[in-house]
A and B are shown apart, each in its own frame.
Chain A
């Protein structure tokens, strides 16, 4: 499995963002799911809820750990990946695809520039000793 994809943006909290038709899809990175291990529960946010950047949006739980998921940008939740309610393990098997968590509107396009490129994110992983 690929560790990062060049077409995505990242946060240092190990979330990824994919902008499509002016909307942002958000998930957790390959590294994040690997660190968590077997994911057994995903709490999804409510559609129409507003979040500012860095605000806690939802929670991903594995057998042994809990991870808070933060809003990588400010916006409103437009859609959530309901498939994860019954099959949270998809986040492990396909973190960059079927394992996306939620999709949100983008209230400030400028915030997108603050996200990390795949290359910059790789550097952070290396600094964490996982390069």
Chain B
């Protein structure tokens, strides 16, 4: 007998996950693999070799038309005019108070054609916001989430595995060497006349790629990648490892470090907030910048072995100064690590704080982030 996932949405890879005995959990309505062999092993594999993740639950929203760039410049915090063709950009969708509705990647597919890759948990909210805010003419917004499956191939061997796949398809292997971080290519990878997008992006702190393919080509893509990856020791990894990897790389996660309660400035995302452009939320953020930030996001490492968790209090001399937003045992550092918001005067690298874990106050030290940077 297996768990009943009949009411949940399934990605193209659901049967593959089952056949590999992945532990499946409900992730905002999706039946997703949280782990295969174990989170620690999967994290180590990603850092040392390569792993393949199913991230098909992510949403894709197409924005196209003559007014597309103008519209996106007005709703997104980064400067969209700085994205070249076939490049991607990290950006934030803010509300009028400067709170974060979502963080996302914009792909510039053509001059008037952009793809927003958004968090699964926020996809419907984003789509509704975009439609509501659209007043430019000639902008079409389409939710394409159900058309595309997505695989993340991450780790030091990712490029070599992908090269084999491209070689097989007669696509120049050198393309990948020339492909910069946050750049992408379109290729006919699995079926003819079917475009697949390969971008040099990811959420693990490793070199890696995200591959978007038509939903119905997903299984072919996964099987092919796994087969070519055999000699590189490619293994599947689940959302559990993905969360630990992104925390080690200090990448914010919506619902943890980001929400409508926090501003991108407090989250330390200033480089992605272009106050010289005009966008929704700008006035609130400018004001916040002028007045100074009350709280800031920090990273900390624990002294002991106890693991900080979201919602635990951060204290200084027994007084609450903030709250943990994410925490985990880091297999790479072999220590518990966490991120959280604290009052600005406390947010100094090298500072000692405490994490309240049940009745005890466990020592932690504020450190420079990211916790892990690939060498």
Q: A: which residues have CB within 8 A of B?
A: 37-38, 40-41, 43, 59, 61, 63-64, 66, 88, 126, 129-131
Contact = CB atoms under 8 A, between A and B. Distances in A.
B240 A129 contact: no
Nearest to A43: B306
B306 A41 contact: yes
Interface in B218-241: 240
A65 to B, nearest CB: 9
Given A61-B306, A61-B307, A63-B329, A38 B39 contact: yes
Contacts of A41: 305-307, 329, 336
Given A41-B305, A41-B306, A129-B1, 9 more contacts: A37-B39, A38-B40, A41-B307, A41-B336, A63-B331, A66-B307, A66-B309, A129-B2, A129-B3
Contacts of B243: 64
Nearest to B334: A40
Contact of A40 (B4, B23, B34, B329): B329
Contact of A130 (B3, B39, B336, B358): B3
Given A38-B40, A61-B306, A66-B307, A126 B329 contact: no
A37 B329 CA distance: 12
A40 B337 CA distance: 13
A63 B309 contact: no
Contacts of A131: 1
Contacts of A63: 39-40, 240, 244, 307, 328-329, 331
Contact of B1 (A43, A64, A126): A126
Nearest to B41: A38
Contacts, number: 47
Contacts of B336: 40-41
Contact of A37 (B35, B306, B309, B358): B35
B234 to A, nearest CB: 21
Minimum-distance CB pairs A-B, first 10: A40-B329, A41-B305, A38-B40, A131-B1, A63-B39, A129-B3, A63-B329, A61-B307, A38-B38, A38-B39
B309 to A, nearest CB: 7
28 contacts: A37-B35, A37-B38, A37-B39, A37-B240, A38-B38, A38-B40, A40-B307, A40-B329, A41-B305, A41-B306, A41-B307, A41-B329, A41-B336, A43-B306, A59-B358, A61-B329, A63-B40, A63-B244, A64-B34, A64-B39, A64-B240, A64-B328, A66-B307, A126-B1, A129-B1, A129-B2, A130-B3, A131-B1
Contacts of B328: 63-64
Contacts of A38: 38-40, 329
Interface string B278-312: 00000000000000000000000000011101000
B305 A40 contact: yes
Nearest to B38: A38
A63 to B, nearest CB: 5
